[in-house]
Chain A
Amino acid sequence: MSKAEGRKKMSKETRRTLVAYSFIAPNFIGFAVFTLIPVVFAFILAFTQWDGSNPIQWVGLGNFIKLFQDTFFLSALKNTIIYCIGTVPLTMIASLALAIVLNQKVRCRGLFRTISFFPYVASLVAVTAVWKMLFSKTGPVNAILYYVFHVPNNELPQWFVGGLVMVSYILFSVWKYMGYYMVIYLAGLQGISGEMYEAASLDGANTWQKFRSITWPQLRPTTFFVVVMLTINCFKVFDIATLLAGGDNNTLTPSSTVLVHYIYQQAFVNWEFGYSSAVAMVLFVLVLIVTIIQFRGEARFSNS
Chain B
Amino acid sequence: MKSAKKKAIVGKICVYIILILISLLMIIPFLWMLSASIKTDKEVFQIPFVWIPENPRWDNYIRIWTKMPFLKYIGNTALLTVVVTFLQLLTSSFAAYSFAKLEFKHKNALFLAYIATIAMPWQVYMVPQFIMMSNVFHLNGKLMAMVCLQAFSAFGVFMMRQFYMGIPDELCEAARIDGMSEYKIYTNIMLPLSKPALSTLTIFTFVATWNDYLGPLIYLTPNKSNWTIQLGIKNTFIGQYSSEYGLLMAASVVSLIPVLIVFLALQKYFVEGIANTGIKG
Give A residues with C-beta under 8 Å from B: 16-17, 19-21, 23-24, 26-31, 33-39, 41-42, 45, 52, 98, 101-104, 106-107, 110, 112-123, 125-127, 129-130, 133-134, 175, 179-180, 183-184, 186-195, 218-222, 224-225, 228-229, 232, 235-236, 238, 260, 263-264, 267-268, 273, 276-277, 280, 283-284, 287-288, 291, 295, 302
Contact = CB atoms under 8 A, between A and B. Distances in A.
Q: Give the interface SS of chain B, mostly helix, strand, loop or mixed.
A: helix
Contacts of A232: 118-119
Contacts of A34: 129, 133, 148-149, 152
22 contacts: A20-B104, A27-B91, A28-B95, A28-B110, A29-B152, A31-B114, A37-B132, A52-B127, A113-B267, A116-B22, A118-B27, A123-B252, A134-B28, A187-B273, A189-B273, A190-B271, A191-B273, A228-B158, A238-B121, A267-B127, A276-B123, A287-B119
B152 A31 contact: yes
Given A16-B103, A191-B163, A225-B162, A36 B113 contact: yes
B207 A121 contact: yes
A20 B154 contact: no
A120 B30 CA distance: 11
Contacts of A102: 19
Contacts of A125: 245, 248-249, 252
Contacts of B26: 115-116, 118-119, 175, 179
Contacts of A127: 29
A175 B28 CA distance: 12
Contacts of B274: 190-193
B281 interface: yes
A280 B148 CA distance: 24
Contact of A280 (B16, B45, B124, B128): B124
Contact of B200 (A114, A120, A184): A184
Interface of B: 15-16, 18-19, 22-23, 25-30, 32-33, 36, 44-45, 49, 90-92, 94-95, 97-99, 102-105, 107, 110, 112-121, 123-129, 131-133, 148-149, 151-159, 162-163, 165-167, 182-183, 186, 196-197, 199-200, 203-204, 207, 211, 245, 248-249, 252, 256, 259-260, 263-264, 267-268, 270-275, 280-281
Contacts of B118: 229, 232
A232 B119 CA distance: 6
Contacts of B91: 26-27, 30
B182 A23 contact: yes
B275 A194 contact: yes
B121 A101 contact: no
A39 B263 contact: no
Contact of A193 (B125, B203, B207, B280): B280
Given A42-B124, A106-B19, A225-B158, A126 B163 contact: no
A101 B182 contact: no
Contact of B117 (A21, A29, A35, A238): A35
Given A19-B102, A20-B102, A191-B163, A129 B32 contact: yes
A27 B166 contact: no
A190 B114 contact: no
Contact of A17 (B104, B149, B271): B104
Contacts of B98: 20-21, 23-24
A52 to B, nearest CB: 5
A183 B203 contact: yes
B92 A27 contact: yes
A121 B120 contact: no
Contact of B99 (A24, A33, A280): A24
A148 B252 CA distance: 37
A45 B267 CA distance: 43
A89 to B, nearest CB: 19
B103 to A, nearest CB: 7
B25 A27 contact: no
Given A21-B104, A24-B99, A224-B162, A277 B267 contact: no
A193 B281 contact: yes
A16 B155 CA distance: 25
B117 to A, nearest CB: 5
A130 B28 contact: yes
